[in-house]
């Protein structure tokens, strides 16, 4: 079976490079087009971009000439790693021209007609695409994946929704790679914690309610639970850690919660999508896990690791979760979304 050609918008940046790396050897998708700014257009990829990841740029990208970020000769399926400052108009132009834009950018996440997808949790939210196309007159569509910390949090919460989540308080410890390259200056972050990441707390709170919400015809009815987030940048390269306290309307036991974490699966597992781990949430019983250094690269960075489940004297239960912010929190999330879109027959 021939592979589906795909493109990447914002291919020269850090997230774009993670897309290139994650797509290397993919069984369904073949990288065929790279888009970037006008100053990069017309150059070989290796001339236009300095490769910041390990090793050298994969041959699948190195052989390609970078194009301007305009629709026309790009494949139908395009991943967007564009900076938020330019993503809105460019992504809309591609969708209007008939492209399926799977975006890592924040710009369209909270639009009422745009799916904000974590495939294990809310695959049915793809139903918004029909209304998006009808309402905007687009031949294509925009589908988004969440903020990197939101993915870690919602993957940990999704198995617990069955117990009636009413309140969530979370604190994030976010890796410097989440700030892009070159990231946070070393004199600011080494030996330090920065207790502010602009816009991050609002994104986590709003996106969590949308992702865990219910498809309601032409919009998503958000989860009624209250969500409060504190966000911190820490001196870790990769891996966002979140501490979570949860209040429930029911009274689940520790055994109930452990079983929910350990058995959780969704549509990607049922359909055996290529990038989907068999169990997307894994519970670690050791009292000092999960840890970024020991756990974040396991399972290709596509699993959310949970640990330290214990009673909370303020709410009901509390725990720690960890996820790879540039894989499951960015490129890997978007690729899994594209696999889901393909499995739904939405690529034509």
Averaged pLDDT for residues 134-139: 98
Quick one: pLDDT at residue 147? 97
What integer pLDDT is reported at residue 204 of this predicted model? Answer: 98
CA distance 340 to 35: 23
pLDDT at 339: 99
Q: Is the pLDDT of residue 11 over 90?
A: yes
Mean per-residue pLDDT, 66-85: 95
Across the range 252-279, mean pLDDT stands at: 99
Tokens 């919602």, residue located: 154
Closest CA to 246 of 311, 323, 149: 311
Model confidence pLDDT, tens digit, residues 212-240: 999 999 999 999 999 999 999 999 999 99
Predicted confidence at residue 183, as pLDDT, reads 86
276 pLDDT above the threshold of 80: yes
Q: For residue range 155-190, list pLDDT tens digits in order.
A: 999 999 999 999 999 999 999 999 988 889 999 999
Instruction: Tell me the average pLDDT of the chain.
Output: 97
Q: What is the pLDDT of residues 14-69, one digit of tens each?
A: 999 999 999 999 999 999 999 999 999 999 999 999 999 989 999 999 999 999 99
**Quick check: 249 pLDDT over 80?**
yes
Rounded percentage of the chain residues whose pLDDT exceeds 90? 97
**How far is Cα 125 from Cα 210, in angstroms, rounded to an integer?**
10
Q: In terms of Cα–Cα distance, which of 203, 206, 209, 219 is closest to 129?
A: 219
Q: Where are the alpha helices (DSSP H) in the chain?
A: 14-23, 45-48, 59-62, 84-96, 119-122, 128-136, 148-157, 186-189, 200-211, 254-263, 267-270, 292-295, 332-343
Contact 82, 10 (CB under 8 A): yes
Q: What is the pLDDT of residue 181?
A: 84
Give the residue numbers annotated as catalytic, written as ranges. Answer: 148, 240
pLDDT attached to residue 325: 98
Is the model's pLDDT at 109 over the cut of 90? yes
- Domains parsed from the chain with CATH numbers: 4-147+331-343 (3.40.50.720), 148-324 (3.30.360.10)
What percentage of the chain exceeds 70 in pLDDT?
100
Give the pTM: 0.97
């Amino acid at each position: 079976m021939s592979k589906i050609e795909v493109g990447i918008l914002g291919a020269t940046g850090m997230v774009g490079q993670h897309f290139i790396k994650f797509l290397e050897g993919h069984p369904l998708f073949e990288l065929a087009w790279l888009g970037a700014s006008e100053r990069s257009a017309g150059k070989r990829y290796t001339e236009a971009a300095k490769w910041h990841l390990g090793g050298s740029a994969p041959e699948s990208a190195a052989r390609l000439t970078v194009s301007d970020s305009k629709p026309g000769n790009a494949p139908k399926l395009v991943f967007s790693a564009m900076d938020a400052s330019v993503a809105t108009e460019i992504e809309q132009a591609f969708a209007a021209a008939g492209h399926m834009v799977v975006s890592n950018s924040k710009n369209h996440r909270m639009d009422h007609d745009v799916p904000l997808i974590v495939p294990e949790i809310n695959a049915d939210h793809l139903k918004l695409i029909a209304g998006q196309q009808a309402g905007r007159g687009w031949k294509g569509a925009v589908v988004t994946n969440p903020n990197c910390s939101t993915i870690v949090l919602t993957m940990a919460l999704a198995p617990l929704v069955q117990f009636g989540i009413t309140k969530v308080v979370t604190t994030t410890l976010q890796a410097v790679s989440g700030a892009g390259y070159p990231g946070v200056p070393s004199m600011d972050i080494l030996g330090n914690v920065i207790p502010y990441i602009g816009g991050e707390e609002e994104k986590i709170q709003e996106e969590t309610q949308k992702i865990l919400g219910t498809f309601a015809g032409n919009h998503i009815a958000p989860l009624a639970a209250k969500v409060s987030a504190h966000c911190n940048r820490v001196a870790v390269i990769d891996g966002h850690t979140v501490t979570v306290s949860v209040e429930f309307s029911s009274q689940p036991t520790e055994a109930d919660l452990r079983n929910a974490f350990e058995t959780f699966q969704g549509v990607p597992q049922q359909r055996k999508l290529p990038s989907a781990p068999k169990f997307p949430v894994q519970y670690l019983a050791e009292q000092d896990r999960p840890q970024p250094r020991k756990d974040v690269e396991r399972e290709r960075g596509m699993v959310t690791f949970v640990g330290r489940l214990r009673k909370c004297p303020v709410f009901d239960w509390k725990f720690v979760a960890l996820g790879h912010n540039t894989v499951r929190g960015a490129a890997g999330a978007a690729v899994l979304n594209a696999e889901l879109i393909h499995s739904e027959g939405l690529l034509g």
